[in-house]
Amino acid sequence: MLDILIKNAVLTDGSKIDIGVKNGKIVALDTLLNLNAVQTFVMESGSYISAGWIDDHVHCNPTMDIYYDEPDLIGVHSGVCTVIDAGSCGYSNVDAFFQCVKNAKTNVYALLNISDIGLIRQDELSDLSLIQIDHIKEKFNMYPDFLLGIKARMSQSVVGDNGIQPLVMAKKIQKELGDIPLMVHIGSAPPPLEDIMPLLDHHDMVTHCFNGKANSIIDSDMHIKSCVLCAQKRGVAFDLGHGTASFDFNVARHCLNLGFKCCTISTDIYHRNRVSGPVMSFAVTLSKMLHLGYSLEEIIDKVTRVPAEFFKIQNKGKIEIGYDADFTIFEVKDTQFEAIDSSGNREIIHKLIQPRHVIVGGVMIDMEEIQ
């Protein structure tokens, strides 16, 4: 007997399927399943189902002073099954973070900040003595199923006078740890993108790719910078990373018109930009990308399969037999609301991607409270 039978499931490509779940795994897929189940969930008309959404750039350590939030508030209660905390913690505070989130309903993973102190202050990479490879190796040995990679924030307010050196050190650490994923934050120069991009390869992800700052991926002639295009050809992934100061409608739209799309869509969400904006939620961020012209099918791919494959999260990101029974059930509603980007630009959005239910590890979580 199944634990859950999901009937009349509609995928984003419009195809229909029934899904059988047992012991937290997908065990049956067919256009018409006639199997007994403890619970049968019949999809509502107009709803879609996808593999559980993955937000690959959040800050969800509730004990931090600057960037903090509750994992389940930005996770399952926002339609998101899996979050990756992107460098909130380093060597000195990742133990407490792991203990704090291990019982969350949301799947929580982390990227370890290469600075021992993590984000307890804004300039964590201004002191190179805080980057200790032995400390980083120790934590990866302790938490092999929790730590997915490392994070380096490469903007002037973070690195101080150290320029590109923290990234050089991060790449050395990455290699010594077996070419694990590295997420690189880009922001204000120095260092300029022309110094950052040549160091990156297919193991790396650049976040905040559509920021509206002077050191953005667009040059003064409104072309994608050649160093960015070369990095893209080498397989470097580009992540949205909306955040408080890192997403601009005009930059994202211009890049789309030039044929340059982000690989993954993430929020860089934490308490302040969730409550006061401009991020608000993962669903609002996805709706902004739908508004700009990304298709629903590619949006969902960028928050399921792509991040799962890049960060090597086993058995997540696809609706396939043997994969974890993580699902997001959502609607695309015709509506009208004003959305704001990180530069203060406001646009009227007419379609809202709205989650209704999540299933994590075969456990149904009601999403009716989402507005």
Q: Is residue 56 within 8 Å of residue 282, measured between CB atoms? A: no
Q: Which amino acid is at 10?
A: V
d(CA 109, CA 180): 14
Q: Is residue 341 within 8 Å of residue 210, measured between CB atoms? A: no
Three-class secondary structure of residue 65 per DSSP: coil
Output the known binding site: 57, 59, 151, 185, 208, 268
d(CA 257, CA 245): 22
141 C-beta neighbours (distance < 10 Å), count: 10
Q: Is residue 156 within 8 Å of residue 189, measured between CB atoms? A: yes
d(CA 107, CA 105): 7
d(CA 85, CA 276): 20
Please name the residues in contact with 168: beta carbons below 8 A apart, sequence gap of 6 or more. Answer: 199
d(CA 227, CA 216): 11
Q: Is residue 216 within 8 Å of residue 228, measured between CB atoms? A: no
d(CA 28, CA 322): 9
Output the known binding site for Zn(2+): 57, 59, 151, 185, 208, 268
Please report how many Cα atoms fall inside a 13 Å half-sphere around the Cα of residue 186, on the Cβ side: 29
